[in-house]
């Protein structure tokens, strides 16, 4: 397993813990890899009283990709408290693109990452 594949695992781990922190009871994750391009699709419910945390998610996942930060800090993803802003910012900087759709009691993510091989 390469570091790039481990990074995908860390992204999923961090977002899964985030969804648990907003009261999720149903989380689904799908990984689609075509060559060096990975698309991660996640869908989760959330507790209505935790909706405020979801708007931060959209903001943090929209951070511009930062290869320098990713190369140095990727192993820290998933190591902090669930939903911690620095962890979500790190995930955002590891992604090439993120689509976030928040609706009543449901969040859908479509995340794109190019693996550097």
* pTM of the full structure: 0.86
Element (H, E) at 5: helix 3-21
Helix (H, G, I), strand (E, B) or coil at 78: coil
Fold of 3-114: Heat Shock Protein 90 (3.30.565)
Whole-angstrom distance, CA of residue 70 vs CA of residue 68: 5
pLDDT score at 42: 98
40-81 per-position pLDDT tens digit: 999 999 999 988 878 788 888 988 887 777 666 555 555 555
Locate the domains of the chain by residue range: 3-114
């Amino acid at each position: 397993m390469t570091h790039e594949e481990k990074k995908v695992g860390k992204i999923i781990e961090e977002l899964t813990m985030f969804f648990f922190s907003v009261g999720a009871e149903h989380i689904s994750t799908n990984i689609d890899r075509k060559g060096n391009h990975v698309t991660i699709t996640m869908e989760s419910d959330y507790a209505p009283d935790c909706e405020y945390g979801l708007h931060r998610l959209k903001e943090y996942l929209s951070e511009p990709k930062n290869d320098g930060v990713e190369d140095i800090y990727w192993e820290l993803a998933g190591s902090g408290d669930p939903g911690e802003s620095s962890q979500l910012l790190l995930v955002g900087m590891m992604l090439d693109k993120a689509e976030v759709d928040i609706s009543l009691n449901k969040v859908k993510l479509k995340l794109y990452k190019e693996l550097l091989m």
